[in-house]
Structure 1
Amino acid sequence: MNVKEGNTFKYRSSMDIDFGGQPVFVTTTVTNKVVKVEENGNIQMESASSELTIKFGDQEMPQPAPPATKMTFKPNGAVAKVDGGDAMMQQMNAAQMVYPEKPVKVGDKWSETVKNAGGELKIDYEFVGVEKVEIKMTARSVNAKEGEGYSADGFNWIDPKTGMLVKMEARIKGMQVEGAPMPIDGTLKMELVK
């Protein structure tokens, strides 16, 4: 990751969810601000949601924003520390790209195991394109039985200058959401707007 203190990355995020057979559409704006770049290269970032709206059928319900999540990333994008926020924001932020230690070329694959509020995930990456750096991503709960736990499959488009997400599209299954009586399934999209 190649960011500077004060850099801000603002994303528009949407989730299309199957909530026990009921379609639910959730939108929010997520703002990630670089608070500090430490001497060791670790990056302290604050992630805050705003403009959170849930659409249940034809009814739109604005929601209060969850508390901000404070995260520290290692220079390769791995999460070193997480403070605050709700479980859903922590799971979404744990989807941040983790880069391999060596240079990669199109076709290269690598894996990382990360911890988040939902448990431990194994994430497989594949470098698939260079127009904007395009990474295929598959995440699975490590200790869950086949077909259970959290999983996500999709693509991340990365700005090669900063290493930050430009766009993400993923199919999610089994995401734990605070206040929801069951894990949710659906699609998640995020796009850099500023």
Structure 2
Amino acid sequence: MLKRFAVIASVLVLLSVALAATAQEPVLLQYNPAPGTTVKYQMNIRGTTVVTAMQKAQKTDLETNMKLEQKVTGVDKQGNIEMTTTIQEGTITVNNTPTPLPAIGQIIKVKMAKNGEVVESEGMDQGNFNQMQIKFPDKPVKTGDSWDSSIQPNPQLPIPLSVKYTVLGFETVDGYECVKLQSNVTSEQGQAGSINLNVKATGKIWFAYKAGIMVKNEVTSNMIMVMESDMGGGKKEKIDTRMNLTLKMGIVK
């Protein structure tokens, strides 16, 4: 259960991070922080899961808190950004019982194009990291513009996801001039073998278009998964899992 919670949360972490939309010239969105740039984030994921099997339901309250440090270590000749992300501290709380996060101290190395596409990764499966990045369009955007993206199936999440981003406006957050985006995530198909999975998420992302970094991220997600378990003797039992998560992530000093 904890692994499933971590996977779904990580998939949605960067898909979606008060509105004062003003007239603004179109801007080109790129990840382009200068070498040596170091940013720290505080992230909180809170939610519940309800698993129903054999006509019995079990509810679990989950909460994860972690502090991340992201550092740009270099930029190659093609303009790709080389950076590390370190999980500095964190706890996961299950039904009011906290335990240290197992991944404390883990370092993830990534080489990423300016549009968000992951070129190389170390310390984490590249496919998983690709899912956590927004892929920006190759032309400037303004308020009201939108673009589509997709997340391909993987062993942890065996169905494709469709993502739509919309520019809501521009505002200043923590001293950064940001574009405010809305993200909407939906599952493109529900069936994956013996698993029927439905995922929906909505979020707001504040991206500092001059500094080239994410400043703030808020996501609410819902997942319904129904799978059949072989009980033996030709008997099968349906297991219904429902998960609701709220993620908040932002820069800390």
Structure 1 length-normalised TM? 0.80
Deviation at 1:26, TM superposition (A): 0.7
- Give the alignment of 1:18-97 within 5 angstroms: 18-20=48-50, 21-65=59-103, 67-85=106-124, 91=128, 94-97=131-134
Q: Which amino acid aligns with 2:95?
A: G
Query: Against the structure 1 CA distance between its residues 158 and 136, is the aligned structure 2 distance closer, same or farther, given a 3 Å change threshold?
Result: same
Q: Deviations over 1:42-80 (max 9, x none)?
A: 112211212111122332222232532222211112222
Q: CA contact under 8 A between 2:117 and 2:130: conserved in structure 1?
A: no
Structure 2 length-normalised TM? 0.63
Query: Against the structure 1 CA distance between its residues 31 and 142, is the aligned structure 2 distance closer, same or farther, given a 3 Å change threshold?
Result: farther
> Does 2:246 correspond to 1:187?
yes
Q: CA contact under 8 A between 2:182 and 2:205: conserved in structure 1?
A: yes
Query: 2:3 maps to what in 1?
Result: none
- Bigger Cα displacement from structure 2, 67-76 vs 56-65: 56-65
Q: Deviations over 1:100-143 (max 9, x none)?
A: 11111100001123458576543211000101310001234455
- Give the alignment of 1:89-108 within 5 angstroms: 91=128, 94-108=131-145
Deviation at 1:172, TM superposition (A): 2.5
Deviation at 1:6, TM superposition (A): 1.5
Unmatched 5+ stretches in structure 2: 1-30, 51-58, 172-177, 225-240
In the alignment, the residues of structure 2 paired with residue 29 and residue 119 of structure 1 have an alpha-carbon distance, to the nearest angstrom, of 30
Deviation at 1:98, TM superposition (A): 2.1
Secondary structure at 2:133's aligned position in 1? coil
Unmatched 5+ stretches in structure 1: 176-181
Q: CA contact under 8 A between 2:159 and 2:190: conserved in structure 1?
A: no
In the alignment, the residues of structure 2 paired with residue 152 and residue 48 of structure 1 have an alpha-carbon distance, to the nearest angstrom, of 26
In the alignment, the residues of structure 2 paired with residue 115 and residue 8 of structure 1 have an alpha-carbon distance, to the nearest angstrom, of 30
Aligned length: 186
In the alignment, the residues of structure 1 paired with residue 121 and residue 198 of structure 2 have an alpha-carbon distance, to the nearest angstrom, of 21
Higher RCO (C-alpha under 8 Å, 6+ residues apart): 2
In the alignment, the residues of structure 1 paired with residue 198 and residue 81 of structure 2 have an alpha-carbon distance, to the nearest angstrom, of 29
Runs of 4 or more consecutive aligned structure 1 residues displaced over 4 Å after TM superposition: 90-93, 114-120, 141-147
Deviation at 1:174, TM superposition (A): 4.3
> Does 2:133 correspond to 1:133?
no
In the alignment, the residues of structure 2 paired with residue 92 and residue 57 of structure 1 have an alpha-carbon distance, to the nearest angstrom, of 29
- Give the alignment of 1:7-26 within 5 angstroms: 7-20=37-50, 21-26=59-64
Q: Which amino acid aligns with 1:191?
A: G
Query: 1:179 maps to what in 2?
Result: none
In the alignment, the residues of structure 2 paired with residue 82 and residue 144 of structure 1 have an alpha-carbon distance, to the nearest angstrom, of 29
Task: Kindly name which structure, 1 or 2, has the bigger radius of gyration based on alpha carbons.
Answer: 2
Q: Which amino acid aligns with 1:99?
A: F
State, as a whole percentage, how many aligned pairs show the same letter. Answer: 29
